[in-house]
Amino acid sequence: MLAKGYDPWYSEPMSDQQPKGLDVGAYIREQRRKAHLSLRNLADRAGVSNPYLSQIERGMRQPSAKILKGIATALEVSAETIFTQAGILDVEPQGSDSSVLRSILRDDDLTDGQRRELAEIYERFRAETAERRARRQPTGGEQQ
C-alpha cells in the first residue's frame, strides 16, 4: 500500500511526516557495502549524482520512486524491498488484496511508470471504496 503523505514522483527533503523506523538510506548503504560498491560506483550505476546518493544514505533526502528503482536495479535487490524500506509500501498491506499490489509491482510486462500508475490507481480505488463503506455505516445514535 502506498504510504500516506509520500509523493513518489518528486524527491523532497526528509520531513517529520516520514514514518518512524524506516531508514532507506541506511538500508541502501548496507546493501552497497555488501555488494562491495563504492558510493561513486553505485551512483553511476543508478544514474544519480554522487553527492545526491550520499545525501540519501545520510538520511538528508527522500528519493523518488524512480530513483529508488534505479538504486534497486544497481544493487540487484527487488524494488519492492526498497520501496518498503522507504515507506512507499507498507510492510503489511491492509486488507487481503496485498497480492494484487505485489503482482502489479512485479509484472515485467509493464514499464516502471505503468506499474507506479496502476498501483496508485488501485490504491485510490480501494480508498474510495473504504470511504463509501464508511459513509454507509449507521452512526451510534441512528436507528435502522
Integer Cα distance of 79 and 68 in angstroms: 7
pLDDT digits (tens, 9 = 90+) for 14-68: 333 333 334 889 989 999 998 999 999 999 999 999 999 999 999 998 888 889 9
Query: Mean pLDDT across the chain, nearest whole number?
Result: 76
More confident residue, 103 or 90: 103
The pTM for the full model equals 0.52
User: How many CB atoms neighbour CB 23 within 10 A?
Assistant: 16
Integer Cα distance of 27 and 35 in angstroms: 12
Sign of CA dihedral 62, 27, 127, 106: positive
Q: Evaluate whether 42 touches 53 at the Cβ level (below 8 Å).
A: yes
Number of H helices, E strands in the chain: 7, 2
